[in-house]
């Protein structure tokens, strides 16, 4: 049954029960009113009885008891008189009022619906965490899949396949620090870590450092090259490291050699070729013949997809659903139409947003989010994210300055 | 979709609360029994709706349903199960839902257990309860809803964690107790308003009000004691009462409630002090509302914070203004209709109770000024902060409360209307002698100041005075054993209540004075292997280690305790850092108990000079405080069990039969 229908059915039952409980007493004949004095008399009789008990037990002095007895007796007399006077009033009570009561009863559902329709979300299902985690695969809920894998690994941290599945998922979610950690664990746990694994680890490091290639990554790429001499990805990044270190000649030679070694149908050729050409111009060398190849995606995209495909296939063979989901997403991204791709990007931005709610201490994430919002043309949301980030880093001068610079750059007022 | 159904039940409860306000009050005003009787089913329905709503929120907490904003903000999936349940009320919205649930429970109790109440009074009491309920339900539904959802697709996978300070057994139970106390006074308030409407306050009225007041007072006493105990073993400062505004917020209604409890006795027994008692009932609940407002509006942390996000604060302020202002207005307009009766002399039971009321009210005013003055000052100067600290409270509150404690044992021994001071004093000879003796012994044998010795004497005077009064009552040593035994067993509950509670006050005074005056204190930066002598013990710091808990990481400081060269025990004090709330570490104090008192060890931060800052205290006889509080609570419970609070139901008399309603 539709959740909405189900909800209104249950809410209707609840309302009906409430109305019935309020209206049914109206069918009964009203009880007879007793005058207030009757109740008072009952209390005073109790008081008198207690007083006698106290006297019996000697808890109260004779003289004091006598005074108290007189006082109570006075009250009893007064109450008795009041009772007789009250009878005339009581006779008139108990009639009518049915219409007033029905009118007031009808107020109940009206008030309830008015408030609920304003603030409630009729039929919205619950989302218990365990259930969400259990259904993560069929809902393609990547964040939940990651969480589940994390839980499994928390109890069984030596599960190599778990780490191999988790690492690319982290990359997908943009949590690069976590991805680095996961790849590192995978290398530690592998009996014989292969070149792909080292490459993936190193590349995650590069992405975690926003494109800069740290020494750790250089060491890992070298290790990969030792294990698989000639590995194009390791060679490419090592060349880039040379370039970043200012060793242009070396970078030029390495890239040129790499280009020569690559088969003609590798998509990344074009990008590399362009870099070689640029370097040649900068170094004042004669440009070599430009290799012709199929139009390729950006090197960054292709290399990252190849980086994730290697471990993903390994985990996929073992039936890890999370790796499948990641691969599925990657494939979808590549085959998507521009509109679809836009939707996916939006989706990623949203998940980044959600992640930052959970883990707000990630300044890099906030900067990415604000920029992405601006790029998507969502200025209001960019501004809102900026505001939230400023709140999170209220005590961090440095972070707030960075946020301010970014805001100025992309032209959103804080 | 239990969350949405819980939300729906809450708005439905609001509808029923409006109904409960309008119908019975209208019925009482027009003398329509049919309408008055509708208050009972409405009260029952309202209770079940709010209980369902509360259960729905609890389920969301247990299931870590982070699609509920409130759960995401205040829970964490790794929390131990018990704190998933208590987490329901360990936050603003949930605690307000608990507030209305407790209120609905009291309303239900009145509806079910008040067959002995005149219909019009009962209808009015329930109607007033309904109006309070309406105000707070509107507040919950509009600006403070616990059922707001996070948009689909953006639901986070982990919550931000519960306030770590509240992840503690005592503090988990503290809010329900406190609220049962606060809200319990709403019953006395409703009775007062109803009485003003009817223009009738008499000893019958007082007898109906007293059990509810006593129940509220007992809950509040337990709640404050739990809070104090928690502050002692969790905050790590070795104290148990800090005159903190949050503490004062609960202490003020307690003072008013204590005064009410005593003045209601005068109304019941002597049909006197009526207007004053009605005013006290209004004041007691007003301070409950103010307490709720102070703690819940954020005004305490800073007036500025309140001004930035004023929606909730202003709303509660509006509720305050309406109920307190309205009640006082009604009081001013109607109080003269309450007829006076029964004069008394100054030296009499009534006189003593009036003095009790005067001093308690003055003490209440002192606490009130000390609590609100800093807020007013900040508001007037535009942000300048001052603090009114313990010295102010100790001076003003102490000056007012000490005379009250000195005369306390006399009260129960004085006769009503006309008492005999000399005779009464003679009855307290033994207590007076014991007090004087204990002052001498403490001054000569244990050192300490004159004030401390006098304080001990005061405590002994209270405990011994309560016991001596009891001994007179049962004729201990004066009558044969059989008679005494008979008297002990037939002594009514409310008498036991008085003896227990008054003795409890004495124990609290003893615990407070001794643990403060003879406290030993060592605050050191310790390195592993360091030894610190304190109060006859030797504390050896063994080192520290990190130990993971279910949802926290504990830094444990390990100690060995020696006495006379022999090892007594190991002790561990922890600093816990919780998932999701890393900026709020908590302290777990190591406590080594003995009959002489507690050895108290709390680790602090890394010291700048190297080593770990460790605070060590020896708190002599501090447990007397907790014994005193327990005695007061037990006293309250025995009082509630007293048969006489179950007033007989009015019987239809001969003359009534002649007056059948014509229908």
* A340 and A223 belong to one structural domain: no
Tell whether B274 is within 8 A of chain A (Cβ).
Answer: no
**What per-residue confidence (pLDDT) applies to A228?**
86
Q: Are A374 and A382 in contact (CB under 8 A)?
A: yes
**How many C-beta atoms lie closer than 10 Å to residue B451's C-beta?**
10
**Structural domain contains residue B479:** yes
Point out the least confidently predicted range of A264-273, B404-413, B631-640: A264-273
List all residues of chain B from 38 to 57 with a beta carbon under 8 Å from chain A. 38, 41-42, 44-45, 49
How far is B172 from B247, CA to CA, in rounded Å?
Answer: 16
Q: Would you call B12 and A98 a contact, using CB atoms and an 8 Å cutoff? A: no
Q: Would you call A43 and B203 a contact, using CB atoms and an 8 Å cutoff? A: yes
Q: Would you call B34 and A97 a contact, using CB atoms and an 8 Å cutoff? A: yes
Q: Would you call A129 and B77 a contact, using CB atoms and an 8 Å cutoff? A: yes
**What per-residue confidence (pLDDT) applies to B359?**
92
* A221 and A370 belong to one structural domain: no
% of residues, chain B, pLDDT over 70: 94
| B661 vs B561 pLDDT, higher one | B561
Q: Are B169 and B86 in contact (CB under 8 A)?
A: no
Looking at beta carbons, which residues of chain A come within 8 Å of B38?
Answer: 22, 25-26, 101
**What per-residue confidence (pLDDT) applies to A201?**
92
Q: In the structure, what pLDDT confidence band is assigned to residue A311 with cuts at 50, 70 and 90?
A: very low
Beta bridge partners of A267: none
Q: In the structure, what pLDDT confidence band is assigned to residue B509 with cuts at 50, 70 and 90?
A: very high
Tell whether B119 is within 8 A of chain A (Cβ).
Answer: yes
* B496 and B600 belong to one structural domain: no
Does the structure show a pLDDT above 70 at B663? no
Q: What share of chain A is helix, strand, coil (3-state, %, to 5)?
A: 75, 0, 25
Q: Which domain holds residue B434?
A: 419-517+629-633
Mean pLDDT of A94-103: 76
C-alpha torsion sign, points A98, A103, A108, A109: positive
Q: Which strands sit side by side in the sheet containing B581-588, from one edge to the other?
A: B531-534, B537-548, B552-563, B566-578, B581-588
Does the structure show a pLDDT above 50 at A292? no
Q: Which strands sit side by side in the sheet containing B590-594, from one edge to the other?
A: B520-526, B612-620, B597-606, B590-594
**Structural domain contains residue B662:** no
Q: By C-alpha distance, which of B378, B225, B371 is closest to B294?
A: B371
Q: In the structure, what pLDDT confidence band is assigned to residue A303 with cuts at 50, 70 and 90?
A: very low
How far is B479 from B528, CA to CA, in rounded Å?
Answer: 64
Looking at beta carbons, which residues of chain B come within 8 Å of A67?
Answer: 416-417
CATH number at residue A216: 1.25.40.10
Mutate to test the interface with A, among B12, B269, B419, B498 (most CBs of A within 10 A): B12
Q: Are B596 and B177 in contact (CB under 8 A)?
A: no
Looking at beta carbons, which residues of chain A come within 8 Å of B161?
Answer: none
Mean pLDDT score of chain A, rounded to an integer? 77
Render pLDDT for B129-138 as a digit per residue (tens, 0 to 9): 999 999 999 9
Angle at A287 between CA A284 and CA A290, to 5 degrees: 155
Q: In the structure, what pLDDT confidence band is assigned to residue B11 with cuts at 50, 70 and 90?
A: very high
Q: Are B199 and B111 in contact (CB under 8 A)?
A: no
Q: In the structure, what pLDDT confidence band is assigned to residue A318 with cuts at 50, 70 and 90?
A: very low
C-alpha torsion sign, points A192, A196, A202, A208: negative
Q: Output the DSSP codes for B40-107.
A: HHHHHHHHHHHHHHHHHHHHHHHTT-TTBHHHHHH--TTS-HHHHHHGGGSSHHHHHHHHHHHHHHHH
**Structural domain contains residue A266:** yes
- Helix or strand (DSSP H, E) at A215: helix A215-227
| A49 vs B305 pLDDT, higher one | A49
**Structural domain contains residue A112:** yes
**How many C-beta atoms lie closer than 10 Å to residue A294's C-beta?**
10
* A299 and A163 belong to one structural domain: yes
* B457 and B397 belong to one structural domain: no
Give the residue carrying structure tokens 């090892």.
Answer: B567
**Looking at B393, B418, B443, which one is the last position of a domain?**
B418
* A406 and A389 belong to one structural domain: yes
Does the structure show a pLDDT above 60 at A290? no
% of residues, chain B, pLDDT over 90: 43
* A261 and A342 belong to one structural domain: no
**Structural domain contains residue B176:** no
* A150 and A200 belong to one structural domain: yes
Mutate to test the interface with A, among B28, B29, B33 (most CBs of A within 10 A): B33
Domain count for chain B: 4
Render pLDDT for B388-444 as a digit per residue (tens, 0 to 9): 778 888 889 988 999 999 999 998 888 887 788 888 888 888 999 999 999 988 888
* A167 and A273 belong to one structural domain: yes
Q: Output the DSSP codes for B118-163.
A: -HHHHHHHHHHHHHHHHHHHHHHHHTS-TTPBPPTT---SS-----
Chain centroid offset of residue B483 CA = 39
How far is A392 from A411, CA to CA, in rounded Å?
Answer: 21
Beta bridge partners of B537: B534, B563
**How many C-beta atoms lie closer than 10 Å to residue A155's C-beta?**
7
* B286 and B338 belong to one structural domain: yes
Point out the least confidently predicted range of B225-229, B257-261, B457-461, B653-657: B653-657
Does the structure show a pLDDT above 70 at B646? no
* B45 and B128 belong to one structural domain: yes
Does the structure show a pLDDT above 50 at B124? yes
Where helices occur in A318-362 by DSSP H, the ranges are: 321-335, 338-358
Mean pLDDT of A233-240: 89
| Cα dist from B237 to A43, A405, B206, B523, B604, whole Å | 51, 44, 43, 11, 10
Mutate to test the interface with A, among B650, B656, B663 (most CBs of A within 10 A): B650
B563 phi/psi in degrees, rounded to 5: -140, 130
* A182 and A237 belong to one structural domain: yes
* B267 and B144 belong to one structural domain: no
ipTM of this complex prediction, to 2 decimal places:
0.83
* B111 and B27 belong to one structural domain: yes
CATH number at residue A400: 1.25.40
Q: Which domain holds residue A224?
A: 145-285+295-303
**Structural domain contains residue A323:** no
Mean pLDDT score of chain B, rounded to an integer? 87
**Structural domain contains residue A201:** yes
**What per-residue confidence (pLDDT) applies to A309?**
34
**Structural domain contains residue A83:** yes
Chain centroid offset of residue B32 CA = 38
* A161 and A235 belong to one structural domain: yes
* B468 and B446 belong to one structural domain: yes
Q: By C-alpha distance, which of A182, A43, A21 is closest to A109?
A: A21
**Structural domain contains residue B184:** no
Q: Are B550 and B78 in contact (CB under 8 A)?
A: yes
Q: Are A46 and B647 in contact (CB under 8 A)?
A: yes
Q: By C-alpha distance, which of B545, B139, B118, B121 is closest to B318?
A: B139
**Structural domain contains residue B660:** no
Render pLDDT for A172-216 as a digit per residue (tens, 0 to 9): 878 888 889 899 988 988 888 888 889 899 989 988 888 888 888
Does the structure show a pLDDT above 60 at A304? no
* B513 and B549 belong to one structural domain: no
How far is B555 from B575, CA to CA, in rounded Å?
Answer: 5
Q: Would you call B16 and A108 a contact, using CB atoms and an 8 Å cutoff? A: yes
* B331 and B316 belong to one structural domain: yes
**Structural domain contains residue A320:** no
* B408 and B436 belong to one structural domain: no
Mean pLDDT of B445-466: 89
How far is B271 from B494, CA to CA, in rounded Å?
Answer: 19
- CA A370 to chain B, closest CA, distance in angstroms equals 17
* A108 and A168 belong to one structural domain: no
* B54 and B154 belong to one structural domain: yes
* A191 and A171 belong to one structural domain: yes
Q: Would you call B158 and A93 a contact, using CB atoms and an 8 Å cutoff? A: no
- What SS3 string covers B566-593? EEEEEEEEEEEEECCEEEEEEEECEEEE
**Structural domain contains residue B237:** yes
**What per-residue confidence (pLDDT) applies to B339?**
65
**What per-residue confidence (pLDDT) applies to A66?**
85
* A155 and A277 belong to one structural domain: yes
Most confident of the ranges A285-289, A320-324, A329-333, B107-111: B107-111
* B327 and B400 belong to one structural domain: yes
Domain count for chain A: 4
Does the structure show a pLDDT above 80 at A133? yes
**What per-residue confidence (pLDDT) applies to A193?**
85
* DSSP assignment letter at B418: S
- Helix or strand (DSSP H, E) at B98: helix B92-112
Render pLDDT for B125-172 as a digit per residue (tens, 0 to 9): 999 999 999 999 999 999 889 999 998 878 888 888 888 888 888 878
**What per-residue confidence (pLDDT) applies to B48?**
97
Point out the least confidently predicted range of A33-37, B90-94, B284-288: A33-37
Tell whether B522 is within 8 A of chain A (Cβ).
Answer: no
Q: Would you call A100 and B656 a contact, using CB atoms and an 8 Å cutoff? A: no
Mutate to test the interface with A, among B17, B24, B38 (most CBs of A within 10 A): B38
**Structural domain contains residue A164:** yes
Q: Which two tokens stand for residue B341?
A: 């009766």
Chain B residue closest in CA terms to A33: B33
């Amino acid at each position: 049954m539709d959740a909405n229908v189900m909800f209104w059915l249950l809410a209707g039952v609840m309302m009906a029960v409430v109305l019935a409980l309020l209206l049914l007493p109206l069918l009964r004949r009203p009880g007879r009113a007793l005058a207030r004095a009757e109740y008072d008399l009952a209390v005073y009789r109790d008081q008198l009885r207690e007083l006698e008990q106290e006297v019996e037990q000697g808890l109260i002095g004779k003289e004091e008891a006598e005074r108290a007895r007189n006082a109570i007796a006075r009250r009893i007399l007064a109450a008795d008189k009041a009772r007789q006077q009250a009878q005339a009033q009581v006779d008139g009570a108990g009639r009518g009022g049915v219409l007033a009561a029905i009118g007031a009863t009808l107020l109940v559902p009206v008030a309830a619906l008015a408030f609920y329709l304003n603030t409630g979300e009729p039929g919205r299902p619950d989302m218990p965490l365990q259930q969400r985690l259990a259904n993560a695969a069929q809902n393609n809920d990547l964040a939940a899949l990651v969480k589940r894998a994390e839980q499994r690994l928390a109890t069984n941290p030596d599960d190599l396949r778990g780490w191999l599945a988790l690492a690319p998922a982290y990359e997908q979610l943009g949590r690069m620090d976590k991805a680095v950690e996961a790849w590192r664990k995978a290398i530690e746990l592998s009996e014989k870590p292969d070149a792909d694994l080292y490459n993936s680890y190193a590349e995650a490091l590069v992405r975690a450092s926003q494109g800069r290639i740290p020494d750790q990554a250089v060491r890992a790429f070298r290790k990969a090259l030792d294990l698989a001499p000639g590995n194009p990805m390791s060679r490419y990044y090592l060349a880039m490291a040379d370039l970043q270190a200012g060793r242009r000649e070396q970078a030029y030679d390495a890239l040129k050699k790499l280009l020569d070694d690559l088969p003609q149908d590798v998509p990344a050729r074009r990008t590399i070729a362009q870099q070689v050409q640029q370097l040649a111009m900068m170094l004042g060398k004669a440009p070599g013949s430009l290799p012709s190849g199929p139009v390729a995606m950006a090197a960054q995209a292709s290399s990252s997809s190849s980086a994730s495909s290697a471990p993903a296939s390994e985990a996929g063979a073992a039936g890890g659903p999370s790796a499948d989901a990641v691969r599925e997403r990657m494939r979808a991204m590549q085959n998507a139409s521009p509109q679809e791709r836009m939707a996916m990007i939006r989706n990623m931005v949203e998940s980044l947003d959600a992640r930052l709610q959970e883990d707000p201490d990630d300044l890099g994430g906030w900067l990415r989010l604000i920029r992405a919002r601006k790029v998507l043309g969502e200025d209001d949301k960019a501004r809102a994210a900026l505001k939230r980030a400023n709140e999170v880093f209220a005590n961090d001068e440095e972070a707030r300055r960075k946020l301010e610079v970014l805001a100025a750059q992309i032209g959103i007022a804080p | 979709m239990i969350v949405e159904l819980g939300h729906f039940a809450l708005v439905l409860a609001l509808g029923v609360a409006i109904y409960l306000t309008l119908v019975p009050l209208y019925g009482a005003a027009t003398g329509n029994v049919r309408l008055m009787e509708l208050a009972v089913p409405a009260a029952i329905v309202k209770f079940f709706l709010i209980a369902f709503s509360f259960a729905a929120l609890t389920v969301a907490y247990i299931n870590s349903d982070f699609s509920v904003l409130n759960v995401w903000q205040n829970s964490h999936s790794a929390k131990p199960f018990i704190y998933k349940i208590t987490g329901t009320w360990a936050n603003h919205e949930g605690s307000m839902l608990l507030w209305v649930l407790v209120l609905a429970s009291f309303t239900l109790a009145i509806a079910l257990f008040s067959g002995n109440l005149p219909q019009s009074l009962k209808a009015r009491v329930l109607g007033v309860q309904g109006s309070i309920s309406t105000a707070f339900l509107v507040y919950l539904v509009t600006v403070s809803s616990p059922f707001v959802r996070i948009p689909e697709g953006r639901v986070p996978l982990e919550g931000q964690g519960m306030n770590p300070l509240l992840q503690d057994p005592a503090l988990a139970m503290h809010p329900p107790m406190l609220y049962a106390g606060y809200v319990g006074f709403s019953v006395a308030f409703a009775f007062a308003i109803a009485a003003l409407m009817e223009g009738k306050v008499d000893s019958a009225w007082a007898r109906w009000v007293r059990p509810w007041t006593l129940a509220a007072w007992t809950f509040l006493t337990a709640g404050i004691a739990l809070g104090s105990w928690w502050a002692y073993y969790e905050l790590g400062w070795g104290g148990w009462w800090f005159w903190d505004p949050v503490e004062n917020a609960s202490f003020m209604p307690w003072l008013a409630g204590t005064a009410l409890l005593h003045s209601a006795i005068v109304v019941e027994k002597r049909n006197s002090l009526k207007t004053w008692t009605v005013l006290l009932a209004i004041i007691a609940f007003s301070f409950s509302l103010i307490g709720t407002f102070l703690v819940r509006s954020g005004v305490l942390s800073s007036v500025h914070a309140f001004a930035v996000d004023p929606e909730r604060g202003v709303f509660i302020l509006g509720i305050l203004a309406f109920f307190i202002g309205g009640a006082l207005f009604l009081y001013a307009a109607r109080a003269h209709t309450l007829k006076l009766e029964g004069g008394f002399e100054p030296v009499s039971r009534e006189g003593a109770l009036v003095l009790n009321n005067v001093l308690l009210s003055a003490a209440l005013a002192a606490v009130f000024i000390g609590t609100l003055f800093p807020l007013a000052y900040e508001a007037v100067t535009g942000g300048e902060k001052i603090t009114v600290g313990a010295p102010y409270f100790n001076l003003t509150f102490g000056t007012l409360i000490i005379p009250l404690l000195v005369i306390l044992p006399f009260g129960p021994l004085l006769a009503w209307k006309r008492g005999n001071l000399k005779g009464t004093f003679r009855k307290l000879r033994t207590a007076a002698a014991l007090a004087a003796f204990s002052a001498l012994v403490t001054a000569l044998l244990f050192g300490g100041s004159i004030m401390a010795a006098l304080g001990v004497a005061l405590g002994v005077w209270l405990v011994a005075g309560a016991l001596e009064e009891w001994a007179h009552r049962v004729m201990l040593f004066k009558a044969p054993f059989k008679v005494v035994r008979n008297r002990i067993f037939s002594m009514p509950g409310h008498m036991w209540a008085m003896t227990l509670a008054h003795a409890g006050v004495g124990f609290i005074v003893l615990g407070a004075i001794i643990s403060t005056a003879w406290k030993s204190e060592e605050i050191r930066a310790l390195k592993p292997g360091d030894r610190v002598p304190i109060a006859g013990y030797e504390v050896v710091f063994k080192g520290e280690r990190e130990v993971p808990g279910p949802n926290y990481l504990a830094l444990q400081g390990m100690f060995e305790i020696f006495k006379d060269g022999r090892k007594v025990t190991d002790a561990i004090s922890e600093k816990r850092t919780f998932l999701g709330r890393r900026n709020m570490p908590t302290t777990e104090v190591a406590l080594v108990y003995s009959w002489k008192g507690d050895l108290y060890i709390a680790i602090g931060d890394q010291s700048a000079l190297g080593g770990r800052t460790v605070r060590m205290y020896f708190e002599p006889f501090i447990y007397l405080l907790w014994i005193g509080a327990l005695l007061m609570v037990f006293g309250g419970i025995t009082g509630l069990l007293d048969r006489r609070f179950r007033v007989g139901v009015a019987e239809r008399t001969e003359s009534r039969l002649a007056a059948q309603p014509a229908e």
